[in-house]
Structure 1
Amino acid sequence: MTEQKKAAILIYPDFSNYEISIVSAIFKIFDKEIVVFSAEKNAVNSEEGFHFIPDKTLTEFDINDYDCLILPGMWCFPDVLCDDRYLNFLKQFKGNKDILIGSISSSPILLAKAGVLEGKRYCAGLYEEDIDTYDFINRDYVVKTPLVTDGNIITAVGKAYREFAIEVGHKLNYDCDDEWFTGIKKPIRAEDYTFFRNEE
């Protein structure tokens, strides 16, 4: 039996944990191992104020062990955009069609600067002024929609974090229900909030 490949999650200062909370839950449901990477092994603060200890540094990444890479958004992307350690790490994925890349909110700007999005349609949670500021962003490929899948690259705006997670699951051939994590249904019915243990 072939060992299942792992999911790599990239974190950086002020990353948005909530934007990857559901995709992480889906990995857990399907027993997919998650390995968290950052530039250093020191604690990394999320934008919500939590402190995360990465499993490995970027230099420890072996692409043969992973079939997907997830990039959360970040509160202040210019700081990360100036850190060559992240950009040099991401450059290895340019033209690589064998690994699924999921990038949400502001994080597609990192992929764009690293050249990974050349010729790819994508969306991003960026202000128009930011798009105009950086010459490596080609407006012809920026789509005004909540989620875009172009080949092996999935991008989404931050508010589409549920749809983003479901799409990542689908691309990994997981049997994800499109209605997972949809929140409260109205009208409120008692039967929708009566739960039984699944013996399986």
Structure 2
Amino acid sequence: MKKKVLVYLYPQFREVEIMTTLSIVGKKYEVLPFSLLPGTVTSECGLMMQPVIKMKNISPIDYEMLIIPGGKQVFTQGNTRLMHLIQVFNREGIKIAAIGNGAAILGRAGVLNNRSYTVSLKEDEFSKAGNWLNGNFSSKQLVEDKNILTAQSHAYIDFGLTIGDRLKCFDGLEEYNFYKGTSSF
């Protein structure tokens, strides 16, 4: 049986930020998308994805990682059940990866406190999320602090490569280089 990775979907999530990651991770892991809402979830560009697991059926210890993309509606993602789920993932030391402004969801859940992180927010958005982002902001493209990985929106390739490396998804350097864009094939 394949190990599992959980992906949180919400309306207008930014699919480009996680597609490389899903391509890499999907080779070795069962990728299970979930949402708070019933039915399909439409991404920023109109891609429709169907969640396959309900939140009430999620047991964090069954997963190797939780992945959270950024998106236009990130500031509406404050559901208490979602916040609790993220807190449990963190408390159990299970890997959590957020890209773009998806890190604001982690901040809202309180798991960035006393942690280093990065996030892609405009100035007005940063002030809106400022009371949640109580960790140590870094302008680096990618920041790893214990079990939490955060990345800037434009670093989606490196985000996927880092996740693939941490989850041991690559069978060799050639496969890694393919995603890096330095492969000979």
| TM-score range for the pair, normalised by the shorter chain length | 0.7 to 0.9
2:103 corresponds to 1:108: yes
Secondary structure (helix, strand or coil) at the match of 2:6 reads strand
Q: Please, which of 54, 58, 65 is the counterpart of residue 55 of structure 2?
A: 58
RMSD across aligned positions (CA): 2.1
CA distance in 2 between partners of 1:181 and 1:170 (Å): 12
List per-residue Cα deviations over 1:102-154 (Å, max 9, x = no partner). Answer: 1100111111111111211000011233222331222x601011111111111
Query: Aligned pair 1:9/2:4, yes or no?
Result: no
The 8 Å contact of residues 60 and 89 in structure 2, kept in 1 or not, is answered as no
Secondary structure in 1 matching 2:91: coil
Contact map agreement 1:41 1:55 (CA 8 A) in 2 = no
% same residue = 28
How do residues 19-98 of structure 1 correspond to structure 2 at under 5 angstroms? Answer: 19-29=17-27, 31-81=28-78, 83-97=79-93
Do the aligned residues in 1 keep the contact of 2:12 with 2:44 (CA within 8 Å)?
yes
* Alpha-carbon offset, residue 164 of structure 1: 0.2
What letter matches 2:61 in structure 1? N
How far apart are the structure 2 equivalents of 1:35 and 1:172? 15
Point out the structure with max Rg over C-alpha: 1
Q: For residue 155 of structure 1, what is the amino acid of its counterpart? A: T
Q: Which of residues 126, 131, 139 is equivalent to 2:126? A: 131
The alignment partner of 1:107 has SS state of helix
With CA pairs under 8 Å and 6+ residues apart, which has the higher RCO, 1 or 2? Answer: 2
How many pairs are equivalent? Answer: 181
Q: Does 1:162 find its partner at 2:160? A: no
In 2, Cα distance between equivalents of 1:170 and 1:184: 16
Distance 1:15 1:104 in 2: 11
TM-score by length of 2: 0.88
Contact in 2 for aligned 1:93/1:116 (Cα 8 Å)? no
TM-score by length of 1: 0.82
* In structure 1, C-alpha distance between the alignment counterparts of 2:145 and 2:46, rounded to whole Å: 33
Are 1:145 and 2:143 counterparts?
A: no
Gaps of 5+ in 2: none
Structure 1 or 2: larger helix share?
Answer: 2
What SS does the aligned partner of 2:33 have? strand
